[in-house]
């Protein structure tokens, strides 16, 4: 993702290469290219226009130091503004309630059920939570079975009522069940729905009012581009959700949703799905994403992944073998497996 945008922005900055200073003319020429690159990446038109206007004002308002080239200054300004556009800083999920109730919403096929399991897995392993997954999708065939299979894979209980077709009642019953069984986190997976489907939108509003969740997350497929932004706007008007989850960010997508959604709905992107595995979920860091877009690489995320998979005891064992000149192909294979656990780099 973002490869095309990264290349286009890099070409835009080259307009300033060799220039002694920043002028209105070379800034206008550069930002014309930047705006075109953003629009081609399916960024919202108003967002792209406001973004380039802000960059222009900041670029013309700064003196270029002799040690810094105009091209470098422009990269820095664009980087900072991209990070601001996507929210500036990471926003944590609210898990203060006891039990904490998280309601998952979104369109059909956006990846809500898989994300629900990923979130349960993350909060269980990293925050020490004892989660309960709730099968609130009573319409999609095999939705309950899918959640049960995912729950089994991560060792998380799933609450389901196969005979009950009332998701509001299921959600209420699940909260009572969680309290009785010592669960401190409830994640309610709901059916996919269109914003224009009044009956379905009324239903999820009723679920919200019935269980009063601490956190409502809107899950959206990043590959849907501008459609994702428009849908988020409509859902937010009805649900006033707390954050956005972008799924399929590892796919062949232009990235417009990631760049537009924060400014359009004024709600933070909290998580991104980065693959099919149940640990392929990351907290969204705007600055790191800006680094990635500008081709700087996301070194911090890579280091964090390496630390998660690092086995100290195994490292000591290998260190001793290397010192004794006994390192063999089996040890090499063990190292490769450790790297593979980190997923896509």
Tokens standing for 219? 């899950």
Residues 77 and 107 in one domain: no
pLDDT of residue 252: 53
Cα–Cα separations (whole angstroms), residue 257 to 143, 222, 285, 324, 341:
26, 6, 15, 53, 28
Same domain for 251 and 328: no
Assigned domain for 305 exists: no
Sequence-distant (6+) residues with CB within 8 A of 65 are none
As a whole number of angstroms, the distance between CA 318 and CA 340 comes to 18
Residue 112 falls inside a structural domain: yes
What pLDDT score was predicted for residue 334?
A: 79
Residue pointed to by tokens 């926003």: 91
Per-residue model confidence (pLDDT) at position 155: 95
In this structure, the answer to whether residues 74 and 143 fall within a common structural domain is: no
d(CA 306, CA 332): 17
Report whether pLDDT(289) > 60.
Answer: yes
The strand order across the sheet containing 185-190 reads 157-159, 131-136, 185-190, 100-106, 215-221, 243-247, 269-273, 281-283
CATH of the domain at 277: 3.40.50.300
Kindly indicate the confidence band of residue 299, based on its pLDDT and cuts at 50, 70 and 90: very low
Same-domain status, 119 and 143: yes
Instruction: Give the residue, 158 or 313, on which the prediction is more confident.
Output: 158
Q: Does 79 reside within a domain?
A: yes
User: Average pLDDT, stretch 121-146?
Assistant: 92
Residue 32 lies in a domain: yes
Claim to verify: residue 201 and residue 335 sit in the same structural domain:
no
Indicate the number of domains in the chain.
3
Is the residue at 160 inside a domain? yes
Which of the two residues, 338 and 343, has the higher pLDDT score? 338
Q: Do 316 and 274 share a structural domain?
A: no
Q: Let me know whether 200 and 267 are in one domain.
A: yes
Identify the residue with better confidence: 331 or 237. 237
Mean predicted confidence (pLDDT) in 281-292: 88
Same domain, 107 and 254: yes
- Same domain for 111 and 237, yes or no, is yes
- According to the model, what pLDDT value does residue 68 have? 64
**Banded pLDDT at 67 (limits 50, 70, 90):** very low
The pLDDT value recorded for residue 333 is 85
With respect to residue 147, please indicate whether it lies within any of the assigned structural domains. Answer: yes
Segment 44-59 shows an average pLDDT of 90
What count of other Cβ atoms lies within 10 Å of the Cβ of residue 162?
9
Q: Is residue 91 part of a domain?
A: no
Choose among 254, 294, 260, 255: nearest CA to 13.
Answer: 294
Position 298 pLDDT exceeds 80: no
Same domain, 111 and 81: no
Q: How confident is the model at residue 310 (pLDDT cuts 50, 70, 90)?
A: low
In the chain, the N- to C-terminal Cα span, in Å, equals: 13
Within this chain, do residues 30 and 126 fall inside the same structural domain, yes or no? no
Per-residue tokens: 117: 């399991």
Q: Per DSSP, what are the bridge partners of residue 159?
A: 134
- Domain match, 74 and 108 both: no
Which residue segment(s) compose the domain that 50 sits in? 3-85
């Amino acid at each position: 993702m973002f490869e095309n945008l990264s290349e286009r922005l890099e070409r835009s900055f080259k307009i300033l290469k060799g220039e002694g200073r920043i002028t209105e003319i070379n800034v206008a020429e550069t930002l014309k290219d930047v705006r075109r690159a953003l629009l081609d990446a399916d960024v919202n038109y108003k967002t792209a226009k406001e973004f380039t206007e802000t960059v222009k004002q900041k670029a013309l308002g700064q003196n270029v130091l002799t040690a810094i080239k105009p091209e470098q200054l422009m990269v820095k300004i664009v980087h900072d503004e991209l990070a601001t556009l996507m929210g500036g800083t990471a926003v944590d999920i609210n898990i203060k309630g006891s039990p904490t109730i998280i309601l998952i919403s979104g369109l059909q096929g956006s990846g809500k059920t898989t994300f629900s399991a990923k979130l349960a897995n993350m909060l269980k392993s990293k925050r020490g939570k004892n989660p309960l997954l709730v099968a609130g999708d009573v319409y999609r065939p095999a939705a309950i079975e899918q959640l049960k299979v995912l729950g089994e894979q991560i060792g998380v209980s799933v609450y389901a009522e196969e005979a009950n077709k009332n998701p509001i009642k299921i959600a209420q019953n699940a909260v009572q069940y969680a309290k009785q069984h010592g669960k401190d986190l409830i994640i309610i997976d709901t059916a996919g729905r269109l914003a224009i489907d009044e009956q379905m939108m009324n239903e999820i509003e009723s679920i919200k009012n019935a269980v009063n969740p601490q956190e409502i997350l809107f899950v959206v497929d990043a590959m849907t581009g501008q459609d994702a932004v428009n849908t988020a706007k409509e859902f937010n008007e009805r649900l006033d959700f707390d954050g956005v989850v972008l799924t399929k960010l590892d796919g062949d997508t232009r990235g417009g949703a990631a760049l537009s959604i924060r400014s359009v709905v004024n709600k933070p992107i909290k998580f991104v799905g980065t693959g099919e595995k149940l640990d392929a979920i990351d907290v969204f860091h705007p600055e790191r994403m800006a680094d990635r877009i500008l081709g700087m690489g996301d070194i911090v995320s890579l280091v964090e992944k390496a630390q998660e998979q690092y086995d100290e005891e195994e490292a000591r064992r290998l260190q001793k073998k290397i010192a004794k000149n006994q390192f063999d192909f089996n040890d090499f294979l063990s190292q490769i497996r450790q790297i593979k656990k980190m997923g896509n780099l």
